[in-house]
C-alpha cells in the first residue's frame, strides 16, 4: 500500500488546500498538497520534497496529525496528514491549478478528495473543540 504525505498548513484558523488540475486523475478535487512516498525517504522528507516540487517553496514537516487508509478502485493509499510550516508563503503552482487558505469550518463546502474527508472532518472537530494550536 502506498503512503501519501499530505501537508496540513494552518494559519489564523485557515488551512491551505490545492485543486487538482485538468488532465490529472481526480481533476477538480481539492486536496492537501503532498504526494507519494518514494523508497529511501522518510515520510517527513517526502512531504518536504513534494511541497518544493508542487509550490517551489521550502517547508518544515512538524508532526503527524492523523493517518487514514482509503480504498480507491485501483488500490489503497495510506494518507498521512502532517502538521507542517511553510517557510516561504510565496507559493507558485507547479502542479495544481488553484490554491486557497480556507477557514476550517468552511471545509465542508469544498469538494475534497474522498480520502481527505476524514482529515477535513477531524480538522473541523478539533477546531471547534479548541484542540488546534
Ligand atoms: N497529495 C495528495 N494526494 C492525495 C490526497 N488525497 C488523496 O486521495 N490523494 C491521492 O494520493 C495520490 C498521490 O499521488 P501523487 O500526488 O504523488 O501523484 P499523482 O497525482 O501523479 O498520482 P497518480 O499516480 O495516482 O496519478 C493520488 O492518487 C491522489 O489522488 C491529498 O490530500 N493529497
* Residue 25 CA, closest ligand 1 atom number: 26
Q: What is the mean pLDDT of residues 17-28?
A: 96
The SS3 assignment for 34 reads strand
Domain locations in the chain as residue ranges: 2-128
| Burial bucket for residue 73 (CB in 10 Å: 0-12, 13-18, 19+) | exposed
Residue 38 CA to ligand 1 center (angstroms) comes to 13
pLDDT of amino acid 133: 74
- To the nearest whole percent, how much of the chain has pLDDT over 90? 97
Measure the CA–CA gap between 29 and 50, rounded to whole angstroms.
18
Cβ(113) – ligand 1 distance below 6 Å: yes
Pairing status of strand 34-36 against strand 2-11: antiparallel
How high is the mean pLDDT of the chain? 97
Cβ(4) – ligand 1 distance below 6 Å: yes
pLDDT of amino acid 73: 86
pLDDT single digits (tens) 23-61: 999 999 999 999 999 999 999 999 999 999 999 999 999
pLDDT at residue 82 is higher than 90: yes
Q: How confident is the model at residue 22 (pLDDT cuts 50, 70, 90)?
A: very high
Quote the pTM value: 0.95
Q: Just give the CATH number of 2-128.
A: 3.90.79.10
Find out whether 112 and 30 touch, Cβ atoms under 8 Å: yes
Amino acid at each position: 500500500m502506498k503512503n501519501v504525505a499530505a501537508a496540513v498548513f494552518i494559519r489564523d484558523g485557515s488551512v491551505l488546500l490545492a485543486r487538482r488540475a485538468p488532465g490529472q486523475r481526480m481533476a477538480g478535487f481539492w486536496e492537501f498538497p503532498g504526494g507519494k512516498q518514494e523508497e529511501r525517504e522518510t515520510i517527513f522528507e517526502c512531504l518536504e520534497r513534494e511541497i518544493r516540487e508542487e509550490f517551489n517553496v521550502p517547508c518544515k514537516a512538524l508532526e503527524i496529525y492523523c493517518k487514514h487508509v482509503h480504498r480507491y478502485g485501483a488500490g489503497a493509499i495510506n494518507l498521512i496528514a502532517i502538521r507542517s510550516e511553510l517557510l516561504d508563503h510565496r507559493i507558485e503552482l507547479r502542479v495544481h491549478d488553484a490554491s486557497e487558505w480556507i477557514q476550517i469550518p468552511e471545509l465542508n463546502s469544498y469538494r475534497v478528495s474522498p480520502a481527505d474527508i476524514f482529515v477535513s472532518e477531524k480538522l473541523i472537530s478539533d477546531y471547534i473543540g479548541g484542540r488546534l494550536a
